[in-house]
Amino acid sequence: MKDELRAHAMVDQMKPRKGEAMKRIDVDGQHGFVELVDWMTVDPVTKITDAARVSYDKDGTHDPEKDAKLVRRLAKDGHWSPFRHSPITIMVSAPEFVARQWYKHVVGSAYAFVDTGWNEVSQRYSEAVHAYMPEVVHEQSISSKQGSGEAMYDEDAEDVRSAIRHAMHRYDELIDRGVSREEARMVLPLAVYTRFYWTASQQALKHFVSLRSHSTSQSHIRAYAEAVDTICLKHYGKAWEAFE
């Protein structure tokens, strides 16, 4: 019953609030998703070209063909500042091992802190509910220190899932016994789901997608990068296509 109540509470937290857009992409077929929840109302191409033309006191003048050409030129030449004026906010549900890789794009980049915002569920204040269960696990890559190789046997994947279930069960037992949330969380596996809001500029989003959708990136975060790419392509339109 307690598990059901915690799960119900998390579902309530995920429900759209007034004024939010339900533009959600399910990522892993379990509890992972990326959802666009907020954005600026001015068209991104208009905002980018105005920001670029203000140097010449020419902002406010627009022609679709010239605007598209200017955006492509800015992207090609690496003039990033005009792309920082149209941030979006996404809500993400992902396993901890994915979120920790993702957070490197906040603390380890040139645009950190001045160009992004990050707020995440705290396991000191709330209880963990779900954990990611891999359908398949892979051998350690021989050619890559950080990568995966060939798929292993079904029983290997089941061993991993069993270990995750055991850790979650022990966590529940500790919580039920009255152990504090901030200490019980020490036994949680990195497969446990977390949820966060990320506000980022188009430049920051493209940097994330470029790195994490690469073939050498871990497949789990690559799926999230592809979801972000899909959302950004739909939202930014020609301003996103200019990067290609």
Residues involved in catalysis: 212
Q: Is 66 inside any structural domain?
A: yes
Q: Which of 240, 213, 221, 224 is nearest to 39 (CA)?
A: 240
Residues 95 and 130 in one domain: yes
Residue 120's DSSP bridge partners are: 196
Residues 6+ apart with CB under 8 A from 51: 59, 81, 82, 85
Residues of the chain with pLDDT under 50: 1-22, 112-113
Please report the pLDDT score of residue 109 as a whole number.
57
Residues 60 and 95 in one domain: no
Q: Is 155 inside any structural domain?
A: no
Q: What is residue 79's three-state secondary structure?
A: coil
* C-alpha span between 108 and 101 (Å, rounded): 11
* C-alpha span between 239 and 38 (Å, rounded): 18
CB 180 within 8 A of CB 125: no
- The model carries a pTM of 0.87
How many structural domains does the chain have? 2
Residues 57 and 114 in one domain: no
The structure tokens listed for 237 are: 């339109």
* C-alpha span between 79 and 243 (Å, rounded): 11
Q: Is 21 inside any structural domain?
A: yes
Range of the domain at 101: 2-40+87-134+190-241
Please report the pLDDT score of residue 6 as a whole number.
45
- C-beta atoms surrounding 37 within 10 Å: 18
Q: Which of 158, 162, 39, 31 is nearest to 99 (CA)?
A: 31
CB 91 within 8 A of CB 197: yes
Q: Is 36 inside any structural domain?
A: yes
Residues 205 and 231 in one domain: yes
Which tens digits make up the pLDDT trace of 95-131?
Answer: 999 999 999 887 655 554 455 789 999 999 999 999 9
Residues 201 and 232 in one domain: yes
Task: Phi first, then psi: give them for residue 66, nearest 5 degrees.
Answer: -70, -35
Q: Is 174 inside any structural domain?
A: no
Tell me the CA distances in angstroms from 125 to 7, 92, 134, 149, 176, one per residue in order: 15, 19, 27, 38, 15
Return the exposure string of 144-156: e unless at least 16 CB atoms fall within 10 Å of the residue's CB, then b. eeeebeeeeeeee
3-state secondary structure 156-184: HHHHHHHHHHHHHHHHHHHHHHCCCHHHH
Please report the pLDDT score of residue 22 as a whole number.
44
